[in-house]
Amino acid sequence: MMYRILTLSLLAGMVAPGIMYARSATEVQAPAKKTAAESVKGVEKITAVNGAFAAYKFTLPPGETFGAYTKIAAKFLVDREHYKSAARARALGAYTREDFSQEESLAFIDYGSGSTDKNGPYIVTNLYGSDSALEVLSGGAGPNTWFTLEFPLTGKAHTAYDPAHFPGEDASGDFYFCVGLSKSGVSGAITYYVKDVMLSNGDGSKTVLSGGSGFNKPAFVGYGDGKELLAREVPSAVGDPGAKEPPGPFVITVNTAVKHQRVIGFGGMSNAWTSPLLTEDDIDALYGPSGLGYNIFRIMLYPDRAKWDDYVGIAKKAQSYGALILATPWTPPAELKSNNSTVGGYLLPENYGKYAEHLKDFIQRLKDRGVTVDVISLQNEPDIQVNYDSCDWTPEQMADFVKQYGSDIGKLARVMPGESFQFRRNFTDPLLNDPNTADGFSVVGGHIYGGGVERYASAQEKGKEVWMTEHLLNTSGNYSYDSTWSAALMAAEEIHSCMSADFNAYIWWYLKRFYSMLGDGEYGTVAGQPLNRGYVLSHYAKYATGAVRVEASLKGGEDILVTAYESADAISMVIVNTGYSASAGTIILPVPVQSCTGVESSAQSVMQDKTLTAGTEIALTLEPKSIVSLKFAK
């Protein structure tokens, strides 16, 4: 594990998760017929040049004071042409100055930069609109889709903030704010639509809409030193620019004659170091018959033998439900290494035999206590230098070790060489290409922290299973977002990518964490309670494990992701609708089926029963931003 917090700006450079980042749920305007007057009510079209903003005026009701309001919000829409513009969402306020003529008059409410001097939490990344980095954390965003951004007005202070330029708690009357999407560090313009600009309090019981088009003329403000013009107009075309026609029908055709990988399963890692271990109740929730249905449990192989028993109770519990145990060492014992430390350094060649005995002793120790280690890794992330338990291995060093000791260790457990932090082929290819080394292991494992997701053809051609053994997604600056349904769909897209790339297994990082499968009590989660990402992984665990992935072709349904699987008695499917609209279509099966059962999850409910009429052509409707798993009994 790269023991770090990944910000979205970091993830921007790590397309490795191998997914197009899912965007959060948002309101979708119905494509109803509208009159011209209705269609343009309250909607403005803004072209912001070099970081300009549109200004809005708020008039508080008589007797109201500014202290009763805690946030400013607006609904935005960006068309496909401008959606990938590098922009941030910002609000600036100068409650006494209508022309915003002096930079010193502004109080900054600035979201989206990775710098620590901004006053977060982040609303958008500094790559607004990027397919690989977009994440709007309030309301959700997508091209040609209305989404909401909220800016808190209290308790957030930018370094340039001056209280003298901001309304006091007892202030009343008129206030002015600039609200918009600004270009970030580049010249140029961005065009967007905005509506429903408002002040409100925490629960929305107090709301004041801006004057919008009633403002005599737009105000112009540049971010930083520049002040550039900004064009504003009220759209005259009929129709809400956010309205989208419902997607056309889709057709999914399953072809069981085209077979891909056998799916070993899904799971995650027990907590390690200072984090609390999973409890047996947690294991019930994750692996039990009425739980989430996982079947792979990754544990840490500590260098300290005194800690080897730490996982025995929960590992035994998981294995009683049929779980496979993957044990991963972060470092050999310090005395076997070049630097006599558990951090960094390398395993001395003269100590290869002692390390092999160390691994075999661990396997035997757990076996003596009733736990079978099914797969043993030789090293966590051998190809990156970090400041926690670790060990550096070159591909040549790993090949030498496997050649000498892999087959011997393999008599006790299946062997997985070092798990590259980016699934780097240049680390594992040398092991695969040497027949004497390739005979010493049976599983290729790796992580996807920046290395991408792609089929590992050479490993499969040599009969090796390919396991994705660690990844996580979390959102620096707004960790509460990670337990939301929008964040869960990001994981769904990633798992789909791994299955489509013929991976045999998918394993998350910590199973119990606010960004994971069970809550730990932080950032609004409840300790031990399944989270949205937990249910998403459950869809795959319960409907793909043990089956062979087969071909599933898709026509139409540009927002749909689908994989299909076949076992001896059933055909199953996992279908993700990443779009903001419901989508209807047909599933065509190669043989008649006796029955169809399944479950559906969305932001509204999770793992709800879904039953379809059996046959060879089956009608299916997918809810917006949902995941559906189906099983057809032959």
Catalytic residues: 381, 470
**461-464 long-range CB contacts below 8 Å, 24 or more apart?**
462/432, 462/438, 464/432, 464/438
Dist CA 457 CA 497 (whole Å): 15
Torsion sign (Cα): 88, 93, 94, 98: positive
For residue 276, the 8-state DSSP code is P
Tokens of 597: 């059962």
Tokens of 381: 């992330």
DSSP 539-606: HHHHHHTTSEEEEEEEES-TTEEEEEEE-SSEEEEEEEE-SSS-EEEEEE-SS--SEEEEEEE-SS-S
Dist CA 405 CA 408 (whole Å): 5
634 burial type by CB count under 10 A (0-12 exposed, 13-18 middle, 19+ buried):
middle
Task: Tell me the one-letter amino acid at 623.
Answer: E
Angle between the N-to-C axes of helices 395-409 and 425-433, in degrees from 0 to 180, rounded to the nearest 10: 50
Tokens of 152: 């808190």
- Identify whether the C-beta of residue 519 lies closer than 8 Å to the C-beta of residue 531: yes
Bridge partners of 609?
599
Closest to 343 (Cα-Cα) out of 376, 394, 310, 380: 380
Tokens of 312: 């025995």
Closest to 77 (Cα-Cα) out of 215, 238, 192: 192
Residue written as token pair 């930018």 = 158
Task: Tell me the one-letter amino acid at 412.
Answer: L
**To the nearest 10°, the Cα dihedral for 206, 208, 209, 212?**
-160
For residue 570, the 8-state DSSP code is E
First to last CA, the chain: 42
Task: Tell me the one-letter amino acid at 358.
Answer: H
Dist CA 587 CA 198 (whole Å): 45
For residue 21, the 8-state DSSP code is P
Across 350-418, the runs of DSSP E, i.e. the strands, are: 375-377, 414-416
For residue 448, the 8-state DSSP code is -
Residue written as token pair 């330029």 = 165
CA 275 from chain center: how many Å? 22
Query: What element of type H or E holds 534?
Result: helix 532-544
Residue 561 makes CB contacts below 8 A (sequence gap 6+) with 492, 493, 496, 575, 576, 578
Max Cα–Cα distance, the chain, nearest Å: 84
Strands 44-49 and 583-588: unpaired
Kindly calculate the radius of gyration of the chain based on its CA atoms and give it in whole angstroms: 27
Instruction: Provide the 3-class DSSP secondary structure of residue 48.
Output: strand
DSSP 457-487: HHHHHTT-EEEEEE-----TT-GGGGGSHHH
